[in-house]
Chain A
Amino acid sequence: MDFLSNYDLLGAFWVTVQLTFWSAIGALIWGIVLAGMRVSPVWLMRAFATAYVTVVRNTPLTLLVVAASLGLYQTLGVSLTTDTTTSAIDITNFRLSVLAFILYTGTFVSEAVRSGINTVPVGQAEASRALGLGFMQTLTIVVLPQALRSVVAPLASVLIALTKNTTIASAIGVAEAAVLMKTMIENEGQAGSLVFLVFALGFVVLTLPVGLLLGWLSQKVAVKR
C-alpha cells in the first residue's frame, strides 16, 4: 500500500475535478441557450439547434477531443491561451478538452432542459402570454425557473456522466486521474489491481455524494403540483 504515497494521487484527481467543474458550468449555460433556441419563434434558430444537437450527440466524445487538439490547435493554431511559458501546452490541452466537453455535454443538458420545459403546465405559459409577456420574458421569468427545478435529477446524471467522461481528456495528454492510473499500473506490475481499485474508489467518492446531494436537492426544489 505504501507505494501509493510515491504518486500525486490527489493532484491527479484535482485535475479531474477542475475539468468537471469548468465543463459543467459551460455545458449548463450552453445547454440552456440551445434549449431556448429549440423552442424559440425564430425558425432558423430552431433548425440550427436541432441540427447541432443531432450531430454532436451522435459523435463520439473521443473524436471531439482529438479534433480539438489536432484540428483546432495543431492545424488551425487556436490555442485558447496567451501563455508562452513551458506550461503553455498543458494549459492549451486542458482548455481544449474543456471546450470539447462543453460542446458535447451541452447537447445532453439541452435535451434535459427541453423535457423540463415540457413538464411545465400549458396554463403557465398561457397566463404569462395573457399578461402581455413576450417570448423571452415568458421563457426566462415563468417557464425556465419551473423547468429547471424539475430537471435537477436528470442533470445530476448528466453531471456524473461528465465526471467520468473527463478521463477522455487523457487522449490529448491532460494529466488527470486516468493518465496517472496508467503510469502507476505500468510501474507497479501486478500490484496494479490494487491501483485500479484505488482509482475506482476515487470515482465512487467523486460521484456518489454528487448523486445523493442532487437527488436530495431535486426532491427539495421540485414544484409541488
Chain B
Amino acid sequence: MSGAPSVLYDAPGPKAKVRNTVYSVVFLAALALVAWYVFAALSDKGQLTAKMWTPFTDGSTWTEYLIPGLGTTLLAAVLAIVIALPVGAVFGIARLSEHRWIRVPAGALVELFRAIPVLMLMLFSNFFYVWYTDIDSDIRPLFAVVTGLVLYNGSVLAEVFRAGIASLPKGQSEAAYALGLRKTQTMLTILLPQAVTVMLPAIVSQLVVIVKDTAIGSTILSFADLLSNYRILSANYGNTIPTLIVIGLIYVVVNWVVTKLAALLEQRMSRRGRSAARPVGPASTTAVPMADLPVADPL
C-alpha cells in the first residue's frame, strides 16, 4: 500500500477540509502548549539566557571539545565496523559450512553474542584488558568500546552476510562448481562479492547503530567521546540543557547523513539491477527477494 495516505482516506471535500483544518489547529495548539510549558520551565531555570548559548558561538568550544569528541566517536565507530566486517564475514560463512563441527559452534557463538547487551560487553572487555593486558589506561576505554562493538556487531553482521549469501541464486554456486572451482574459491570469488553488494545498504545502516552505541562508553567507562563533553561543558558554564541539545543535534546530523548514504546506495543498486543475473524460468524462485531478508535491526 505505497502512497498509503491517499488510500486510507478520500480526497477531502469541503466538510473534510474544514475538519482537517480544525484538527490541525487543535494539534498546533497542543504542540504550542507543550512548547510553552517547556519554554517557561527552561527560562524559569535560566537555561535560555544568552549566556547559556554563547559558549557554542565561541570557536574554542568546538575546536577543544566538540570536534575532538566527534573525532573520537567516529574513530571508534570506524574501527568497530572495519574490524567487525571480516569477523562477521567469517562467522556468516562458518554458519553456512557443510561441516557440522564448524556450523554449530559458530551459530552458538553468534546467537550468544547477539543476546548480550553491548553495555555488558564493553564493561567486561574493560575488565578483561585490566586483568590480562598492560594497555595504557588512557586508551583502554577506546579498546574496550571497540571490542564490545566488534563482538556485538560482528555477530549481527554475520547474520547479514549469511542472509546475503543465501539470497543469491543457486545457479551461481552451481555454475562455479561446474567450472571446477573449489568450495573456498566459489565462496571468495563468486558468492561473497555479490553478497557484499546486495547487503551494502544494510551494512551502512549498521554504522548508525554503531555510532549511537559508542555513546554508551562515555557513561560507564569515561570514554572521551562526543557525549562525554556534556560533563565538562555543563560544569564550566552550567548550561546542561543547551549542551545536551547541541550534542544531540550533532549525532542526529551525522546519523542522518549515514542513513541518506544507505538510501542512496540502495537506490543506485536497484537502478543498476541485481549484480547477480536472475536465472530465467522456473528456477528464478530460488532467489529470495531482498524485501524478505532479515535486515539488521537499527536499534
Contact = CB atoms under 8 A, between A and B. Distances in A.
Nearest to B259: A58
B119 A60 contact: no
Interface stretch (B16-24, B94-102, B165-173, B183-191): B16-24
User: Which of B117, B208, B256, B297 has the most A CB atoms < 10 Å from its CB?
Assistant: B117
A175 interface: no
Interface in B1-16: 1-2, 4-5, 7-10, 12, 16
Contacts of B213: 60
A63 B244 contact: yes
A75 B48 CA distance: 12
A207 B1 CA distance: 32
B2 A200 contact: no
A121 interface: yes
Contacts of A39: 4-5, 8
Nearest to A121: B1
A66 B227 contact: yes
A196 B215 contact: no
Interface stretch (B85-93, B174-182, B246-254, B282-290): B246-254
B2 A204 contact: no
Contact of B299 (A46, A129, A165): A165
B238 to A, nearest CB: 9
Interface in B121-175: 123-124, 127-128, 131
Interface string B108-120: 0001100111111
- Secondary structure at the B interface, as helix, strand, loop or mixed, is helix
A105 B47 CA distance: 28
B117 A42 contact: no
B211 to A, nearest CB: 8
B230 A122 contact: no
Nearest to A138: B8
B227 A164 contact: no
Interface stretch (A5-13, A79-87, A89-97, A177-185): A177-185
Given A119-B1, A185-B124, A208-B115, A58 B45 contact: no
A6 B256 CA distance: 47
Nearest to A65: B219
Interface residues of B, number: 59
A24 to B, nearest CB: 13
A181 B120 contact: yes
A177 to B, nearest CB: 8
Nearest to A37: B27
A225 to B, nearest CB: 13
**8 smallest beta-carbon distances between A and B, as pairs:** A60-B215, A161-B299, A58-B255, A171-B219, A164-B117, A62-B215, A135-B9, A167-B117
Interface of A: 39-46, 48, 54-55, 57-63, 66-67, 70-71, 74-78, 105, 108, 117-122, 125-126, 129, 134-135, 138-139, 143, 157-158, 160-162, 164-165, 167-168, 170-171, 177-178, 181-182, 185, 190, 192-193, 196, 199-200, 203-204, 207-208
